[in-house]
Structure 1
Amino acid sequence: MAESVVYSEVKYKKESNADTGRAGPQIKESPEDDVVYAAVVHKADHTNQPNPPTFYTVHSPGDSSPKGSKGIRRRGLLLLAVVVLILILGVAISLSLYSGCQSAKCNDGWEAHGRQCYFFSTESLIWTRSQEECVHKKSHLAIINDEKEQKLLMMIIRQKMQGPEDKFWIGLNDRQMEGKWLWVDNTPLNTSQKFWLNNEPDNWKWVNNTEYPDGEDCVRMGENNFIANSAAGWVDTACEREFKFICETKACL
């Protein structure tokens, strides 16, 4: 004959702030006032030997184990580490596309001048696409630092110009704020540099009978009327026009 097992639940009513005594078993009054603390299991014994009841701990629904909390914290830290790693990789990729250097002889199709490598395009693009092409070549539109570099580039493009519109974009613009000229690396123009052609910049909004509502926010080089031995050669023009462009990067030592 199988032994019979009797299960019973002991429910305790939540203790109120005014009740300072030990709460005993209560008759259930409402679902929200009761909490199950333990289940008491009585095992039938035919040997007339008393057996103590066995208690099993029952956690209330709001109970959270330390082990679970540690797991949540561990997953949170892991997620944070992944996000930081993605950001670092993104910055590294951006820098690798925008910086670095070429061999001392410069890559094929580039010209070495001092510690710089220059690329003079044969295709014409708008200013933003020109910058994108330079970045794709791990370089940037030319940043002119001094008069020596300005005169060097003017001399080179004079030899490359084949017509009146055969002009070259450089990396100078005031697209963010009118009159605030910045290079593509966000460094401001040195105002002591007097490399503008006569009466430039003028922010003209009509070019060849075509209206450019944003005015002339990008700079190019290349004019047939260069003044001999002068560094003046910059002209502001509409960024939407298509010209050739000059890319620049460093030459490794």
Structure 2
Amino acid sequence: MAESVVYSEVKYKKESNADTGRAGPQIKESPEDDVVYAAVVHKADHTNQPNPPTLPTPADSSPKGSKGIRRHSLLLLAVVVLCILILGTVISLSLYSGCKPGKCNDGWEAHGRQCYFFSTKKKSLNWTQSQEECVHKKSHLAIINDKKEQKLLMMIIRQKMQGPEDKFWIGLNDRQMEGKWLWVDNTPLNTSQKFWLNNEPDNWKWVNNTEYPDGEDCVRMGENNFIANSAAGWVDTACEREFKFICETKACL
């Protein structure tokens, strides 16, 4: 494209002496005395000039760009959650692997990875109070999972019994539904792991000439007629009666 040319012309007329207010000889003006200035302006052609620098464009605000941003945010959130889960698993495994048998609080007895507390209070408690006392100790009434654990506890309480009524509550009951035996953590009693004494449970409503309308819904251990080398030792008893108790928790808690 050719360059554009602009012509402009400006005329200036000389001042007369009359305009200046000065006295002097009068000079006759002629048309030739006018002064003419001419200017020529060239308009540059920018067609061949380099392009101006490109400014950065703002972030894409279109729906497509927003969708990409949301997808990136969700992916980042998923990675963070996964990292937290992995970290929690690692910590849990490290705590468990560092738990050594025999590490229990004072007054507790260690057996494997379990800690047991055998009540020695002169004043006994009913079943509910016994469970509350165990919870206060960050534990629960004993949950017996197999024959080995049952025989272990029977052997220990034999040595602790000092009289015919020196019995111990454990964490088994059928208070919610008669005949449906549950442990304190609401797990059902395994049918292959029942250790009832002879003719138990019988759900008597009269014990020592005292009536218990709800029957016998809680379980204790500790009878003088334990069968030698037998695991049988559970007796259902009215939950209102007061006995000693056995608390249980895991070592290293």
Indicate the TM-score class for this superposition, using the shorter chain for normalisation: 0.5 to 0.7
CA distances 1:87-114 after superposition (whole Å, capped 9, x unpaired)? 9999999999999989842100000011
Partner of 1:126: 126
In structure 2, relative to structure 1, the CA distance for the partners of 1:126 and 1:4 (3 Å cut) is farther
- Give the 3 Å change call, closer, same or farther, for CA 83–102 of structure 1 in structure 2: same
Task: Indicate if the aligned counterparts of 2:134 and 2:141 stay in contact, CA closer than 8 A.
Answer: yes
Computed over aligned residues only, the root mean square deviation of the Cα atoms, in angstroms, reads: 20.4
Q: Tell me the CA shift for residue 173 of structure 1.
A: 0.1
Paired residues in the alignment total 250
CA displacement 1:36-91 (0-9 Å, x = unmatched): 9999999999999999999999xxx9999999999999999999999999999999
Q: Structure 2 regions of 5+ residues with no counterpart?
A: none
> Does the 8 Å CA contact 1:203/1:215 hold for their aligned counterparts?
yes
C-alpha distance 87-130 of structure 1, shift in aligned 2 (>3 A)? farther
- CA gap of 1:49–1:24, structure 2 versus 1, over 3 A, is farther
Residues 53 and 111 (structure 1), Cα distance of their counterparts in 2 relative to 1, 3 Å cut: closer
Q: Quote the Cα distance in structure 1 between the aligned partners of 2:224 and 2:68.
A: 72
Alpha carbons of structure 1 residues 37 and 237: separation in structure 2 relative to 1, 3 Å: farther
Give the superposition deviation at 1:165: 0.3
Distance (Å, rounded) in 1 between the aligned partners of 2:35 and 2:90: 57
Classify 1:229/1:54 alpha carbon distance in 2 versus 1 (closer, same or farther; 3 Å). Answer: closer
Q: 1:166 to 1:194 in 2, by over 3 A?
A: same
1:177 to partner: Cα distance: 0.1
CA deviations 1:163-182 (Å, max 9, x no partner) are 00000000000000000000
Cα deviation, residue 193, structure 1: 1.7
**Structure 1 residues 196 and 46, CA gap change in structure 2 (3 angstroms):** closer
How far residue 203 of structure 1 moved from its aligned partner, in angstroms, is 0.3
Instruction: List per-residue Cα deviations over 1:176-201 (Å, max 9, x = no partner).
Output: 00000000000000011230000000
Find the aligned partners of 1:32 and 1:237 in 2 and give their Cα distance: 141
What's the secondary structure of 2:235's corresponding residue? Answer: strand
Query: 2:3 touches 2:42 (CA, 8 Å); kept in 1?
Result: no
Name the stretch that deviates more: 209-218 or 81-90: 81-90
Distance in 2, Cα, partners of 1:80 & 1:133: 43
Cα distance, 1:196–1:65 mapped onto 2, change above 3 Å:
same
CA contact (8 A) 2:4 2:42 kept: no
> Using a 3 Å threshold, how does the CA distance of structure 1 residues 132 and 93 change in structure 2: closer, same or farther?
farther
- TM-score, normalising length from structure 1? 0.60
Instruction: State the Cα distance separating 1:252 from its structure 2 match.
Output: 2.7
2:67 to 31, 48, 70: 70
Conserved 8 A contact 1:5-1:44? no
SS at match of 1:154: helix
Hey, which bits of structure 1, 4+ residues long, moved more than 3 A?
Answer: 1-57, 61-104
TM-score by length of 2: 0.60
Q: Distance in 2 between matches of 1:17 and 1:169?
A: 135
Q: Percent identity?
A: 94
8 Å contact 1:139–1:247 — kept in the other structure? yes
Q: In structure 2, how many angstroms separate the alpha carbons of the residues matched to 1:25 and 1:53?
A: 65
